Structure 1
Amino acid sequence: MSADYAVEVGRDALLMVMLVSAPMLGLGLLVGLLVSVFQATTQIQEQTLAFIPKIIAVFVAILIFGPWMLRLLMDYTQQLILILPKLSH
């Protein structure tokens, strides 16, 4: 395996990680921002208030985007498995 090909496989792996984690991180960030705005406007300074909505948002993201994330991971894994015999030469 050449160094260029190893870099390409690593780049593709990092891209896959970002694609799979983006829906959960994005919804968690959005909910965290909304809770922070709510806390600022109502002057409620409870630190634990943001955790439950974020956890619920992440679970909702998993439920909604789970099939898409699983399909992405399966396709990527199949591509890696098909490439393995070519790498041994």
Structure 2
Amino acid sequence: MTEGDALEIVQQAIWLTIVLAGPVVGSAMVIGVGVAFFQALTQIQEMTLTFVPKLIVGFLIILLTGSYSGSLLKVFTEQLYLRIALGFK
């Protein structure tokens, strides 16, 4: 295994992490901005008002993208195991 192989694996792993976490983080960010805007308009400063919607939407996004995320993770793992088995040639 060369340095190039290791860098390629790390690059693929980081990109996969971004792709897998992106929908959940993006939706939480949109919900957070919406709730903050609502709180600024109504002057309601309840801490659970920001937490509960993010939790619910995050769970729904995980349910919607779970099979796609799992298939991406499965393909990455299979490719990595194949490279290990072949000796990184």
Instruction: Report if TM-score (shorter chain) is over 0.5.
Output: yes
Q: Distance in 2 between matches of 1:33 and 1:81?
A: 41
Q: Which runs of 5+ in 2 are unaligned?
A: none
Q: Which amino acid aligns with 2:12?
A: D
Counterpart of 2:65 in structure 1 is 65
Aligned-residue CA RMSD in angstroms? 1.3
Q: Which amino acid aligns with 1:74?
A: K
Whether the 8 Å CA contact 2:32–2:50 is kept in 1: the answer is: yes
Residue 88 of structure 1 and its aligned partner are, at CA, apart by 6.3
Runs of 4 or more above 6 Å deviation: none
For residues 1-89 of structure 1, the aligned pairs below 5 Å read 1-87=1-87
Could you state the TM-score of these two structures normalised by the residue count of structure 1?
0.93
Q: Distance in 2 between matches of 1:75 and 1:14?
A: 15
Q: Which runs of 5+ in 1 are unaligned?
A: none
Could you state the TM-score of these two structures normalised by the residue count of structure 2?
0.93
Work out the number of aligned pairs and report it.
Answer: 89
C-alpha distance after superposition, 1:41-78 (max 9, x if no partner) = 11111122100000001000011111110111011111
Q: Which amino acid aligns with 1:28?
A: A
Identical aligned pairs, as a percentage?
A: 36
Q: Distance in 1 between matches of 2:36 and 2:9?
A: 39
Q: Distance in 2 between matches of 1:88 and 1:3?
A: 11
